[in-house]
């Protein structure tokens, strides 16, 4: 389906993401390191920062969903599967630390056969 499933009216939308991964917008907020109130406020007061966090989540989900066959499974992987070479941290841990690029690079390395 592509990254568009995570958007509404041209912006990354926590409600659209939550529908795609079968969870709540509150859970999406937690996944990107915000409370739901902070997420809602951030959409208005700090849209660039909030959109960056949502975009990073959407990019990771979009990249791994084909591997798992469903966005909900990709989301579970993001939240629970420790990544090799990151000291037991999950993609979510790295996302929370501002290291989304490291997650995307890791996924590319796995796809290239580096982390088999």
The per-residue pLDDT for range 34-92, each reduced to its tens digit, is 999 999 998 888 899 999 999 999 999 999 999 999 999 999 999 999 999 999 999 99
**97 touches 53 (CB < 8 A):** no
On whether residue 98 sits in a domain, the answer given is: yes
On whether residue 116 sits in a domain, the answer given is: no
Tell me the per-residue pLDDT of 57-73, one tens digit each, with 9 for 90 and over.
999 999 999 999 999 99
On whether residue 52 sits in a domain, the answer given is: yes
pTM: 0.93
Report the pLDDT averaged over residues 28-37: 96
Count structural domains, the chain: 1
What pLDDT shows up at residue 55? 97
Q: CB burial class (10 A; 0-12, 13-18, 19+) of residue 88?
A: exposed
On whether residue 33 sits in a domain, the answer given is: yes
Q: Which domain holds residue 35?
A: 3-111
On whether residue 17 sits in a domain, the answer given is: yes
């Amino acid at each position: 389906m592509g990254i568009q499933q995570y958007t509404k009216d041209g912006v990354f939308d926590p409600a659209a993401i939550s529908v795609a991964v079968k969870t709540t917008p509150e859970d999406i907020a937690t996944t990107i390191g915000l409370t739901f109130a902070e997420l809602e406020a951030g959409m208005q007061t700090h849209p660039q920062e909030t959109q960056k966090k949502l975009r990073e989540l959407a990019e990771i989900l979009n990249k791994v969903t084909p591997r798992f066959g469903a966005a909900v499974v990709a989301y579970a992987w993001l939240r629970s599967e420790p990544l090799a070479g990151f000291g037991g941290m999950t993609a979510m841990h790295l996302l929370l630390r501002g290291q989304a690029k490291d997650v995307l690079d890791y996924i590319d390395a796995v796809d290239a056969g580096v982390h088999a």
